[in-house]
């Protein structure tokens, strides 16, 4: 995957109420610091200037957070009612989050054990598997 830039924002879903984008790894969601070179906030403002809301601190209503180094789907509410609805879903734990780690191995590592994680329990596997 190429490094993040202001132009390469991937839109996963868009409706009247929500925009879901694929946040790039090593990109902050928002920042008021002038020295931040790239943020999701800047990508959104570049691609969708008409969606920026001056009534919000960062210009967009981010429904949740992802760590700086984490890539993945990030939901942006496009109006106050949608933001409230998303907030209630997260608050009432009606949202399911899933994390997938992609690991690359070399030929020398083929005989080694691999760790896999599944909802809080850890187990050793002899071959890489996808855990859901």
Rounded to an integer, what distance in angstroms lies between the CA atom of residue 98 and that of residue 80?
26
Residue with tokens 């946040």: 23
Quote the tokens at residue 100. 């997938």
Kindly provide the residue ranges of all beta strands, DSSP E only, lying in the chain, ordered along the sequence: 10-14, 18-23, 61-62, 72-77, 114-118, 121-125
Please give the structure tokens belonging to residue 24: 């790039």
Q: Is 67 a catalytic residue?
A: yes
Q: Which of 17, 55, 67, 92 is catalytic?
A: 67
Question: Which are the catalytic amino acids?
Answer: 67
């Amino acid at each position: 995957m190429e490094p993040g830039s202001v132009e390469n924002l991937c839109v996963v879903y868009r409706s009247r109420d929500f925009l879901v984008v694929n946040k790039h790894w090593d990109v902050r969601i928002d920042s008021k610091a002038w020295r931040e070179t790239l943020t999701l906030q800047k990508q959104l403002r570049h691609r969708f200037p008409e969606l920026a809301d001056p009534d919000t601190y960062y210009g967009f209503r981010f429904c949740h957070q992802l760590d700086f180094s984490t890539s993945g789907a990030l939901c942006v509410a496009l109006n106050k009612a949608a933001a409230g609805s998303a907030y209630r879903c997260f608050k009432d734990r009606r949202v399911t989050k899933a994390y997938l780690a992609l690991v690359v191995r070399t030929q020398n590592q083929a005989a080694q054990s691999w760790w896999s994680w599944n909802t809080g329990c850890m187990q050793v596997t002899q071959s890489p598997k996808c855990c859901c």
